[in-house]
């Protein structure tokens, strides 16, 4: 289904908007982020992480980033199926654990920066209002230049 064109981005032909580049290092053709309060200043992954003093690693799906936070879970024989409880690994594995797992938290935000999804007015959507095809366009871009 054809979605309505909103400037240079459309669901059928994704073009790079003019000026869609990192304002610090000049990187182009990659995912960019903007400050939630400043929709015009764009930063690439490296520059955003540096600016926000955050560590973010691209996930395998290419749509999200891993954070530095890891969640630890366990199940015991007395728990309902598919029920997991959190635990602190520095205190050891709970004695009644029959299964354990960990997962790294995922996000698309870096500190106060959110994905820079362009609008038709040469600005960018905030983090809750971008249309799906706009976000899909952003997600299709690589995290880093090759």
pTM, full prediction: 0.76
The residue extents of the domains of the chain are 1-63+108-146, 65-106
Q: How far apart are CA 83 and CA 70, in angstroms?
A: 18
117-130 pLDDT, tens digit each = 887 776 777 666 67
Query: Each residue of 29-44: pLDDT tens digit?
Result: 999 999 988 767 899 9
């Amino acid at each position: 289904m054809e979605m309505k064109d909103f400037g240079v981005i459309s669901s059928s032909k994704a073009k790079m908007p003019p000026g869609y580049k990192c304002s610090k290092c000049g990187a182009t053709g990659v995912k960019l982020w903007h400050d939630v309060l400043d929709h015009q200043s764009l930063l690439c992954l490296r520059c955003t992480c540096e600016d926000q003093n955050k560590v973010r690693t691209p996930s395998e799906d290419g749509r999200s980033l891993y954070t530095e936070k890891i969640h630890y879970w366990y199940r015991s024989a007395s728990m309902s199926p598919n029920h997991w409880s959190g635990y602190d690994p520095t205190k050891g594995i709970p004695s009644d654990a029959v299964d354990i797992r960990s997962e790294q938290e995922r996000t698309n935000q870096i500190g106060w920066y959110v994905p820079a999804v362009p609008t038709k007015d040469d600005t960018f959507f905030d983090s809750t209002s971008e249309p799906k095809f706009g976000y899909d366009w952003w997600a299709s871009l690589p995290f880093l230049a090759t």
